[in-house]
A and B are shown apart, each in its own frame.
Chain A
């Protein structure tokens, strides 16, 4: 599958960062969708079918950890999301271990990555094959 067939969901409430990630991923020929709050993110992820979701943790309405929790217990996605990678500036150990235990494959601290490195990470997780 080429990038143009890969669907990526960007969950990011900060408009500057959301635009940045959408642009750089679109430039890399991914099919990119984005949402700005936790409720929209939950609904989109529940419908599912994304090859990769970049999920923020601190979000309006519903936080990222709660989204992961709801999806793994009460409301499993209708179609699988093949990779979920947390992209957050919250570096609390508790949040990291909770996200990983709820099925996130990676936990990236936003400020540690340039846009180019974010694309590298996306490719890296996609190359790891289906996690499901």
Chain B
């Protein structure tokens, strides 16, 4: 056997060597474990939704605590690319004392990016790790040599390692580690650990930056949206005031408040009146759209009997039906349907769909409205024997300013092009749906559903 041939001294030496090897491997293993646990913490920091400074602070605190370093500093390139600005430094009493020597808050310790005497700038510019034992190399030109030495002493820093932080080879800043050991006393494992952390630190900071920029952009958009909403409100107020005067005074003349007028004048005034009404509706529709699209539209639900609206619509359109010799009937089953919804908006949907049916149906045609209840939904269908809609036009129906009314007989008043779009929005705000079935030259059926409660 081999060991019988070894002397006692030789055996001891071998044993010591084996022990040392085991100790080394254990140490490396514990470092790997530590690396993994730091990476895990950094990962959880990276997926948080904190801002850049908060993320930087958590990173420096984690690395300093886990690696037992007296100081860790993260500096980031300013958005204008002109300078480096600290975003976080380890929080400790000695660091506080050190900063008080410089006599400036951390965020004001700005170093111009063209100052190549500074090693942090160098790390960013060359995208390569820098090492020094002189603290001045990272503080230059903020302080001269003496205070730099004093700070190094207070914080107990003998070596500084500066890692560039970069994303897609673009420098975003640097992380400076202030350590008590000399550089040669760092183990290979410790150096490897540090190398592995840097990428995760870069990603965490980049992500926080993106998140922060996105949040700023989002806040800005919300502010703009609010301004737009206010503008639309005030602009519509200004538009409505003269329209109200035109509508009001035309109504006075039409109703004999200014004495008798000729039939021709009456006819002309009807055109003025209906044109003004169109403008007023357009303003109302635009206001609704502005509110819907900014998510600020509020329904005002109440419980009512839907048959009231059917009666109202029946009456509202009966004059038009007899004027054009059209068949117009409504049918509701059961005869009363209790529903909780925004009554004004439901009426607006009905007026729009029935109005369209009349508009696109020639004289002597028919228009009908059928209301029923199915699976706790009110289901209303409006059918006509009009000119129908071409299959390729159906997808365009519910978009803004779509007008498929070209070539209509002159009796048809042009719409605002917003009616169907708004009707669909109102139905969907009630959590209902709109459907359309149509065949060219045969007629169309528009159906909408609204939950009863």
Contact = CB atoms under 8 A, between A and B. Distances in A.
Interface of A: 14, 16-17, 20, 23-24, 27, 58, 88-93, 109-112, 114-116
A116 B255 contact: yes
Nearest to B238: A89
B233 A17 contact: no
A26 B243 CA distance: 23
B241 A115 contact: no
Contacts, number: 59
Contact of A20 (B234, B240, B249): B249
B287 A111 contact: no
A20 B298 contact: no
Nearest to B297: A93
A110 B236 CA distance: 12
B413 interface: no
Interface residues of B, number: 23
Closest A-B pairs by Cβ, 7 of them: A89-B240, A111-B240, A16-B245, A114-B251, A110-B244, A111-B244, A111-B280
A62 B89 CA distance: 54
B248 A114 contact: yes
A93 B251 contact: no
A91 B287 contact: yes
A16 B240 CA distance: 13
A114 B233 contact: no
B343 interface: no
15 contacts: A14-B241, A16-B245, A16-B249, A17-B241, A23-B252, A24-B257, A89-B237, A89-B240, A91-B236, A109-B284, A111-B240, A111-B243, A111-B283, A112-B280, A114-B247
B296 A17 contact: no
Nearest to B243: A111
Given A20-B248, A23-B257, A88-B237, 4 more contacts: A20-B252, A109-B240, A111-B284, A114-B251
Given A93-B291, A93-B298, A116-B255, A110 B240 contact: yes
